[in-house]
């Protein structure tokens, strides 16, 4: 005979068979509830629960939550949102790990009061004595379960004032007191209370995990003499200017010793010899490896001075973590089994056919000595954490095991939970999302390759709405030292302006490969390539004096707008608005706390004037006056449709508006 189970199965000493309430779904959830939801302090968690019960009795649904650092659970009622869905919003005020769950039960007191009220309205006086006696019994049972003596006393006094007085209108009125009924209904019989079978985890990281403006530059190019390798001491003199432009984070490519073997020269030419600077991503030489500073840049003391100057300027420093080695790295000699060898005994170098990177050896994460490899790489990160680094931009994390990153990030956060990890992963979306699952705070995106209105709307909607919004934080970059998109190559200064505006306003975090973007560098190494001609990856560049067409003034203004308008610091409030011209994109963001909004309107065509009618009616208003925060111009709009004209061909105009309600 098949094995059967008794309906009186007991769990924790309490019979489960009489629990009528079912919690079917609890949102938000990530990866079926296996992974944590991600937030920063002050960012709302909109909790939804699908809760059902047989019959028609009213339910009480409570959201229970445990804030970071607390061992005690708190509780608050949820509001019904239609179709058996319940809603409540949580906001946590500090980093750490929080939990939430749902408890629900049939509210016997509300059920009795509701039924009795209907009989009173219908004049069914014959039923009053029995109804009052039944209500008194129910409430006394609830009062008996009260842990708070004052609550128990209040409930019993309430009942005593109206029970056994069926002919008194005052008794009937007292018995239907909804506030007292709600107090009693909040003390259910624990045998019949249903707890959600899941607890959801919320990982709250510091603000920089969600928002910030990043500026990337190569310290070796920061000198005043063209062609000469600069030091960190010279590079730190650039920091006040970067801070004055309104950036929050300075990101440095690798600052470690660069290998001499197979060193790449200008435009990635092979076998350039030791006299060229080489690629910073070819890490390691006789001078040291991942915990050393390139001697041409200076010393660890110089780096410490750089960090101090950055902090005094209001900047954080993001360090590049590239877990790979040059052929001259000490690891190659000391740990040869950490690298994969070909049948002829040579070590596999990095390749992305037809590209070859003979100057870079990837680690073999399948080595039998994997535990020591993992421990060493963790120690590298912790070395720089000890020196004061709190942000890491991780190079190509999708080419290393997910389990490694999950372990490493957890290990680092046990030492310092404020460390932020940015994934530089341009790969398949599900892999990028899984890197967020395993702990990366934010990620590069495909924004660089999204240039039409439909591409931008579809992609940004995906990134800023559940389920992706609950675990993945985008950092939008219009360029990097590796990527010069065709839009920038062909669109000139207007393309740089509009892509800057989009990156800085569509996302709470954005970044630029700074000097090249400021100067609107747009020449590829060859037609059809996305690599820069004379790429700074392979040679020292000189970025002075600033050209007339520099974007620094526009960048400064946009970053100031970002700081002065909290709406731009959120992603989940992004909303797109209709325009009857596909070359014009319109969107808004709203600050959840104040309700204030920012409206962005941009011409996606860098070559031609575009016009159209925008539909935008905040709060259903008709007439609307808006101020362009870039220019100070004020526009008075009537009705819900507004005429837009954006001219990228006039050097005195901008191909976009950043608008808010005029004061």
pLDDT tens sequence across 139-197:
999 999 999 999 999 999 999 999 878 778 999 999 999 999 999 999 999 999 999 99
In the annotated binding site for alpha-maltose 1-phosphate, the residues are 264, 324, 359, 396, 537-538
615-644 mean pLDDT = 90
pLDDT at 509: 98
Q: For the segment 437-471, what is each residue's pLDDT rounded down to a tens digit?
A: 999 999 999 999 999 999 999 999 999 999 999 99
The second-level CATH assignment, the architecture, of 19-104+195-202 is: Sandwich (2.60)
354-372 mean pLDDT = 94
DSSP character string of 58-72 = -EEEEEEEE-TT--S
Q: For the segment 495-547, what is each residue's pLDDT rounded down to a tens digit?
A: 999 999 999 999 999 999 999 999 999 999 999 999 999 999 999 999 999 99
pLDDT at 221: 98
479-490 mean pLDDT = 98
> What's the token pair of residue 112?
């009795």
The candidate with the shortest Cα–Cα distance to 603, out of 584, 579, 578, is 584
Residue 663 pLDDT greater than 90, yes or no: no
98-107 mean pLDDT = 98
Q: Is 656 left (phi over 0), alpha (psi -120 to 50) or beta?
A: beta
Give burial (CB, 10 Å; 0-12/13-18/19+) of 171: middle
For the question of residue 81 being annotated catalytic, the response is no
33-40 mean pLDDT = 96
How far apart are the C-alpha atoms of 491 and 489, rounded to whole Å? 6
220-241 mean pLDDT = 97
pLDDT at 494: 98
Q: Do domains 19-104+195-202 and 205-324+363-564 have the same CATH topology?
A: no
Among candidate residues 88, 216, 395, 470, the one labeled active-site is: 395
pLDDT at 126: 83
Q: How confident is the model at residue 12 (pLDDT cuts 50, 70, 90)?
A: low
pLDDT at 10: 52
607-625 mean pLDDT = 90
Q: Are 27 and 466 in contact (CB under 8 A)?
A: yes
Residue 1 pLDDT greater than 90, yes or no: no
For β-strands 391-395 and 361-362, DSSP reports them as unpaired
The candidate with the shortest Cα–Cα distance to 58, out of 215, 154, 181, is 181
Work out the percent of the chain whose per-residue pLDDT is above 90: 90
pLDDT at 6: 41
pLDDT at 220: 98
Looking at per-residue pLDDT, the higher value among 273 and 308 belongs to 308
332-336 mean pLDDT = 98
372-385 mean pLDDT = 98
Q: How confident is the model at residue 274 (pLDDT cuts 50, 70, 90)?
A: confident
pLDDT at 4: 39
The CATH code for residues 572-659 is 2.60.40.1180
Q: How confident is the model at residue 11 (pLDDT cuts 50, 70, 90)?
A: low
Residue 657 pLDDT greater than 70, yes or no: yes
26-35 mean pLDDT = 95
In the annotated binding site, the residues are 264, 324, 359, 396, 537-538
pLDDT at 533: 97
Among candidate residues 163, 316, 424, 539, the one labeled active-site is: 424
What does the mean pLDDT of the chain come to? 95
Q: How confident is the model at residue 396 (pLDDT cuts 50, 70, 90)?
A: very high
SS (H, E, C) 84-100: CEEEEEECCCCCEEEEE
Looking at per-residue pLDDT, the higher value among 131 and 289 belongs to 289
Q: How confident is the model at residue 2 (pLDDT cuts 50, 70, 90)?
A: very low
59-73, 162-176, 532-546, 631-645, range with the lowest pLDDT = 162-176
77-81, 149-153, 273-277, 577-581, range with the lowest pLDDT = 273-277
Give burial (CB, 10 Å; 0-12/13-18/19+) of 592: middle
Chain centroid to CA 532: how far?
A: 30
Eight-class DSSP state of 346: P
pLDDT at 619: 78
DSSP character string of 237-299 = GGHHHHHHTT-SEEEE---S-B--TT--BGGGBS---TTS---TTSB-BTTBSTTS--TTT--
Q: How confident is the model at residue 272 (pLDDT cuts 50, 70, 90)?
A: confident
Work out the percent of the chain whose per-residue pLDDT is above 70: 97
pLDDT at 147: 95
46-69 mean pLDDT = 97
> What's the token pair of residue 303?
């780096």
Residue 5 pLDDT greater than 70, yes or no: no
- Give the CATH H-level superfamily of domain 205-324+363-564: Glycosidases (3.20.20.80)
**For the chain, which residues make up each domain, given as ranges?**
19-104+195-202, 106-184, 205-324+363-564, 572-659
Q: Are 67 and 98 in contact (CB under 8 A)?
A: yes
DSSP character string of 512-578 = EEHHHHHTT---BSSTT--SBTT-TTTS-----SPPTT--HHHHHHHHHHHHH-GGGG-STT-EEE-
Q: How confident is the model at residue 642 (pLDDT cuts 50, 70, 90)?
A: very high
Which residues are registered as beta bridge partners of 283? 258
For the question of residue 395 being annotated catalytic, the response is yes
Within a 10 A sphere around the Cβ of 214, how many other Cβ atoms? Answer: 23
Looking at per-residue pLDDT, the higher value among 411 and 13 belongs to 411
Q: How confident is the model at residue 15 (pLDDT cuts 50, 70, 90)?
A: low
pLDDT at 164: 78
pLDDT at 3: 40
The CATH code for residues 106-184 is 1.20.58.80
């Amino acid at each position: 005979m098949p094995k059967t189970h008794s309906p009186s199965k007991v769990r924790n000493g309490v019979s489960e068979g009489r629990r009528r309430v079912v919690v079917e779904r609890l949102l938000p959830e990530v990866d079926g509830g296996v992974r944590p939801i991600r937030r920063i302090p002050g960012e709302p968690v909109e909790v939804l629960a699908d809760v059902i019960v047989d019959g028609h009795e009213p339910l009480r649904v409570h959201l229970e939550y445990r804030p970071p650092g607390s061992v005690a659970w708190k509780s608050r009622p949820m509001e019904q949102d239609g179709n058996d869905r319940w809603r409540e919003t949580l906001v946590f005020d500090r980093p750490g790990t929080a939990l939430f769950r749902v408890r629900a039960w049939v509210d016997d007191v509300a059920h009795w009061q509701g039924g009795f009220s209907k009989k009173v309205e219908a004049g069914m006086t014959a039923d009053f004595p029995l109804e009052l006696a039944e209500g008194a019994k129910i409430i006394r049972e609830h009062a008996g379960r009260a842990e708070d003596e004052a609550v128990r006393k209040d409930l019993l006094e309430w009942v005593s004032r109206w029970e056994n007085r069926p002919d008194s209108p005052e008794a009937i009125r007292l018995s239907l007191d909804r506030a007292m009924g709600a107090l009693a209904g909040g003390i259910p019989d624990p045998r019949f209370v249903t707890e959600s079978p899941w607890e959801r985890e919320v990982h709250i990281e510091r603000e920089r995990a969600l928002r910030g403006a990043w500026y990337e530059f190569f310290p070796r190019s920061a000198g005043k003499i063209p062609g000469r390798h600069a030091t960190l001491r010279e590079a730190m003199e650039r920091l006040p200017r970067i801070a004055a432009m309104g950036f929050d984070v300075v990101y440095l490519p690798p600052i470690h010793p660069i290998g001499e073997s197979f060193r790449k020269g200008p435009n990635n030419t092979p076998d350039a010899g030791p006299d060229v600077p080489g690629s910073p991503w070819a890490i390691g030489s006789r001078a040291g490896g991942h915990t050393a500073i390139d001697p041409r840049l200076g010393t660890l003391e110089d780096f410490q001075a750089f960090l101090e100057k950055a902090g005094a300027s209001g900047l954080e420093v993001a360090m590049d973590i590239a877990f790979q080695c040059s052929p001259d790295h000490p690891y190659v000699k000391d740990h040869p089994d950490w690298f994969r060898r070909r049948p002829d005994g040579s070590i596999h170098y990095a390749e992305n056919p037809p590209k070859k990177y003979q100057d870079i050896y990837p680690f073999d994460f399948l080595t039998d000595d994997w535990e020591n490899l993992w421990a060493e790489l963790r120690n590298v990160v912790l070395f720089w954490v000890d020196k004061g680094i709190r942000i890491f931009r991780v190079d190509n994390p999708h080419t290393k095991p997910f389990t490694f990153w999950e372990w490493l990030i957890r290990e680092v956060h046990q030492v310092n939970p404020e460390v932020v990890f940015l994934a530089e992963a341009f790969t398949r979306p599900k892999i990028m999302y899984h890197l967020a699952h395993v702990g990366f705070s934010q990620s590069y995106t495909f924004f660089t390759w999204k240039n039409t209105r439909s591409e931008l709307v579809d992609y940004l909607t995906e990134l800023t709405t559940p389920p992706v919004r609950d675990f993945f934080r985008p950092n939008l970059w219009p360029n990097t030292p590796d990527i010069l998109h065709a839009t920038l190559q062909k669109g000139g200064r207007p393309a740089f302006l509009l892509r800057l505006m989009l990156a800085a306003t569509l996302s709470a975090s954005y970044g630029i490969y700074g000097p090249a973007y400021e100067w609107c560098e747009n020449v590829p190494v060859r037609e059809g390539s996305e690599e820069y001609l004379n790429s700074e990856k392979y040679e020292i560049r000189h970025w002075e004096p600033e050209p007339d067409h520099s974007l620094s003034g526009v960048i400064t203004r946009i970053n100031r707008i970002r700081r002065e308008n909290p709406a731009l610091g959120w992603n989940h409030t992004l909303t797109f608005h209709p325009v009857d011209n596909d070359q014009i994109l319109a969107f808004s963001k709203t600050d959840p706390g104040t309700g204030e909004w920012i409206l962005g309107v941009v011409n996606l065509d860098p070559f031609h004037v575009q016009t159209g009618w925008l539909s935008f009616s905040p709060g259903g208003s008709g007439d609307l006056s808006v101020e362009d925060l870039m220019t100070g111009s004020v526009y008075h709009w009537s009705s819900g449709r507004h005429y837009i004209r954006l001219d990228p061909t006039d050097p005195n105009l901008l191909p976009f508006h950043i608008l808010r309600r005029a004061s």
